[in-house]
Amino acid sequence: MARPRGSTSEITGQRLRAAALRLFARHGFAAVSMRQIAAGAGVQAGTLYLHFADKEDLLFDLLRSHMEDLIAAWDGQARPEGPLDRLREFVGFHLGRNRDHPDAVFLSYMELRNLGPANFARIESLRRDYEDRLSAILAEGEAAGVFACPDVKLATMAIIAMLNGVNTWYREGGRLTRERVGEIYWGMVRQAVAASGRA
């Protein structure tokens, strides 16, 4: 993040990150050896310890940068006015990020248990920060009478889980395009929190 750009070290570091991300997502953190990661980046095993203190530090680096990039990307983009359009924007944004970073998304939900307590807490905190963006939209819509969630936090968790599910089954070239899937999910999300229709 704060290393000199373009240096040999930085290039190797990024290649190691990329190799580790791919391998961890494919086989699981515990199943991947430091030797495999090094080989994936075209270096020897010992070199890894020039860039990362140990295996967990490498995993933490991947998860932290993923969450920080995610939050920065959302905060950095223009937001439409009004809770409904803003929610639509969030759904599209989240699905787009999941599409573009499937390995990191998978890791950030599946391999948290391999972090020590301190690192675990930091990632969880970042995740909460991100989820709070969605909660704020829902609360705003609730106050405006556009949404009617019986519980904003639960609606937040439900929407995120629902959207994340797409990555587990969607395959390029299948029955539906990404765009169509996005439209259909947006429809379900909108109805799930809509003010009309609540019994």
Partner DNA sequence: GTCTATAGAAAGATAGAC
Partner DNA sequence: GTCTATCTTTCTATAGAC
Q: Which residues bind DNA (CB under 7 A)?
A: 7-9, 11-12, 32-36, 38, 42-47, 49-51, 54-55
Smallest separation (angstroms) from a second copy to the CB of 71 = 19
Q: Is 121 in the site for a second copy (CB under 8 A)?
A: no
Q: What is the DSSP string of 36-97?
A: HHHHHHTS-HHHHHHH-SSHHHHHHHHHHHHHHHHHHHHHTS---SSHHHHHHHHHHHHHHH
User: Amino acid letter at 16?
Assistant: L
Q: Is 84 in the site for a second copy (CB under 8 A)?
A: no
Smallest separation (angstroms) from a second copy to the CB of 14 = 25
Q: Residue 44 contacts by C-beta under 8 Å, 6 or more apart in sequence?
A: 38
Q: Is 31 in the site for a second copy (CB under 8 A)?
A: yes
Residues of span 145-164 touching a second copy by CB under 8 A: 149-151, 154-155, 157-158, 160-162, 164
Cα-based angle 169, 91, 63 (whole degrees, multiple of 5): 70
Q: Which CB sits closer to DNA, 49 or 74?
A: 49
